[in-house]
Structure 1
Amino acid sequence: MRAARLVTLLLLLQNRGRMTAQQLAEELEVSVRTVYRDVEALGGAGIPLYGEAGHAGGYRLVDGYRTRLTGLTADEAQAAFLAALPGAAAELGLGEALAAAQLKLRAALPAELREHAGRIQERFLLDAPGWYGDADRTPHLAAAATALWERRAVVLRYRRWRAPEEIERRVEPYGLVLKAGRWYLVAGGPSGIRTYRVDQIAELQPLDVQFAVPEDFVLTAYWTRYLADFRARLHTGEALVRLSPEGARRLGVAAAGDGWTEARVPIESIAHAHGDFLRLGADIEVLEPLELRTRIAGTVRTLADRYER
């Protein structure tokens, strides 16, 4: 533990230049007295650092000195690939490893590139989840990630929308995907490779059984196919509609001049199209299918009666 702290202290000085004992203590989450002892230990080990007294003083390395202790641990290397998603790294239990990895990567860069990396981090931020709705609760995400790292099979108790609404399956975790703020577990099982929403896992029991991922499995390729299949299943029908210029813009349909536009648009189902089209209000008229037109007309009459009371 202390060895790791000494390396971190050294990298902090290399990255940031002069730092006071108080600043180092806050970064390392230790007492100032511990910082004094660590600095003394580094000096005794031949590290060329020195302290300057006074208000603008602090510790710094001799100009030109650069440590070679920038090798990443396994956790830090994994976390480095999540650098754009600090929230995701934290959910996977890699928050501290991410901070250490970024510190080491910055220490390995020349001064000019290190400053450029700092400016990027200050000015750009990726926030993947959408605006509306709270984040899903994923209490079993860390356990799923551990099983994934260790290539251990698990038994899932899983909730789903169709009957039976709760199932139990023994699966082998192949990968985790973060899509629009929601985690998905890709796993192999008796019925092939399936995708499970992590927030719908009611219970996860790791097994003392290791497995090997099929040699031909590639997570990115699988996810691309999965999304294509999902979209193909999503839009199984179509509707004929008339759209105002504003309705065409909101629905992403090319408008025909300044008037109303007639278009055929894909729909998932009558129920989903009913809700989606009502959001467009008076900017849409459904012509076909008749079932959808009749259902929307009934809803509009109900709303009119309600507001005319």
Structure 2
Amino acid sequence: MRADRLLSLLLLLQNRGHMTAPQLAEELEVSVRTVYRDVEALGAAGVPVYADRGPLGGYRLMGGYRTRLTGLTGAEAGSLFLGGVPGPAADLGLGAELAAARLKLQAALPAELGERAQRVRERFHLDAPAWFREADPVPLLAQAAEAVWEQRVLRAHYRRWRGEVHRELRPLGLVLKGGIWYLVAHVEGGGPEGGAATAAGAVVRTYRVSRMISLEDTGERFERPDGFDLAAHWAESTRRLEATRYQGTALLRVSPRALRLLPVQFGAVGRQAVDGAGPPDGDGWVRVELPVESRPVAVSDLLRLGTEADVLGPPELREAVAAAVERLARRYGVA
């Protein structure tokens, strides 16, 4: 709406003091011509906007003028909880609301606090995604977020690693973990996917939003379960996942280089293995005990260490790694 844009323009000039037309156009995501028209509209409404001419010219407010029209809309107030993660806020369709809320808050602050808030914004930045990984495309994220907010039942077509399924979901919340969006939802019945059961017979499950093929609003509303705490549920489900993730321990003999790689490739359990490493042998290699996942996953993970590691046990894991190496040798024509 134009009224919202005019207020945003006014607050930009109030908070930053002096801005050129191209700068205003970029902030407001409009054309420079639109900025010219909006500035004229503000002047016609009695706002003392002064235009500086010349190459370094721009617009500023005269005489210490300050507006008190800084009330937040509902969407703007909600967006403030995502103030530290502007990228995810934009993914949720709240980018414009977050920008407007920031402007209004800064305008309402005393000058000293406003300057401090500006310094914090200039000096600290949170980048949620992990290194060396492109963010998942999440075209259905905004639709999922709207269903969470409006408590609407969704009919979902979802792609799992073992096939596609159709589910009727009662979305309870969205979680951003390591740059990946997850939808937490009630689903009637158990099923093969597992999840945390509730007293009503429903199961709370987690779905990766990027694997949603389609979402359909059924038009039906649902009531959130009393006392459901998204953060507490996520912490508990994460703890359960970590507890069941590792299914055994591999005994390895590793080189000094592999010892340095363990924390990089295996994270916390890699660091624990390094801390518990035995004394080096005559070649400088050491023995470590490394928690591993299922056998196929363990084989794949351990092959990443290449010739810098020797799997000593358990025997079935050593045989599985040897069989994988043999298959690779045959594939590449090595006797």
1:121 maps to what in 2? 121
> What SS does the aligned partner of 1:130 have?
coil
1:243 maps to what in 2? 254
Q: Please report how far the alpha carbon of residue 188 of structure 1 lies from its aligned counterpart in structure 2 after TM superposition.
A: 0.8
CA RMSD in angstroms comes to: 2.7
Contact 2:299 2:320 in 1 (8 A): yes
Q: Please report how far the alpha carbon of residue 198 of structure 1 lies from its aligned counterpart in structure 2 after TM superposition.
A: 1.1
> What SS does the aligned partner of 2:82 have?
coil
2:87 maps to what in 1? 87
Matching residue's letter, 1:182: I
Over residues 10-56 of structure 1, what are the superposed CA-to-partner deviations in whole Å (9 max), with x where a residue is unaligned? 10111111234554455445566654554454445444444455555
How many pairs are equivalent? 307
2:303 maps to what in 1? 278
1:167 maps to what in 2? 165
Where in structure 2 are there 5+ consecutive unaligned residues? 190-202, 263-269
Contact 2:279 2:287 in 1 (8 A): no
Identity %, equivalent residues: 54
2:77 maps to what in 1? 77
Moved more, 172-181 or 75-84: 75-84
> What SS does the aligned partner of 1:100 have?
helix
Matching residue's letter, 1:88: P
Query: Which aligned segments of 4 or more residues in structure 1 are displaced greater than 6 angstroms?
Result: none
Where in structure 1 are there 5+ consecutive unaligned residues? none
2:322 maps to what in 1? 297
* CA shift in 2, pair 1:22/1:301, >3 Å: closer
Contact 2:151 2:171 in 1 (8 A): yes
Q: Which structure 2 residues correspond to residues 35-46 of structure 1 after superposition, within 5 A? A: 35=35, 38-43=38-43, 45-46=45-46
Asked if 1:202 corresponds to 2:200, the answer is: no
- Give, in whole Å, the separation in 1 of the partners of 2:141 and 2:66: 39
Asked if 1:16 corresponds to 2:16, the answer is: yes
2:186 maps to what in 1? 188
* CA shift in 2, pair 1:108/1:287, >3 Å: same
- Give, in whole Å, the separation in 1 of the partners of 2:306 and 2:22: 60
Q: 2:312 aligns with which of 271, 287, 290?
A: 287
Q: Please report how far the alpha carbon of residue 195 of structure 1 lies from its aligned counterpart in structure 2 after TM superposition.
A: 0.7
Moved more, 138-147 or 107-116: 107-116
Q: Please report how far the alpha carbon of residue 242 of structure 1 lies from its aligned counterpart in structure 2 after TM superposition.
A: 2.5
1:65 maps to what in 2? 65
2:192 maps to what in 1? none
Task: Give the TM-score taking structure 2 as reference length.
Answer: 0.80
Q: Please report how far the alpha carbon of residue 175 of structure 1 lies from its aligned counterpart in structure 2 after TM superposition.
A: 0.3
Over residues 62-91 of structure 1, what are the superposed CA-to-partner deviations in whole Å (9 max), with x where a residue is unaligned? 344332222222222232222332221222
Asked if 1:211 corresponds to 2:222, the answer is: yes
- Give, in whole Å, the separation in 2 of the partners of 1:37 and 1:56: 20
Matching residue's letter, 1:76: E
1:101 maps to what in 2? 101
Moved more, 109-118 or 74-83: 109-118
Task: Give the TM-score taking structure 1 as reference length.
Answer: 0.86
* CA shift in 2, pair 1:139/1:5, >3 Å: closer
> What SS does the aligned partner of 1:238 have?
strand
Matching residue's letter, 1:173: P
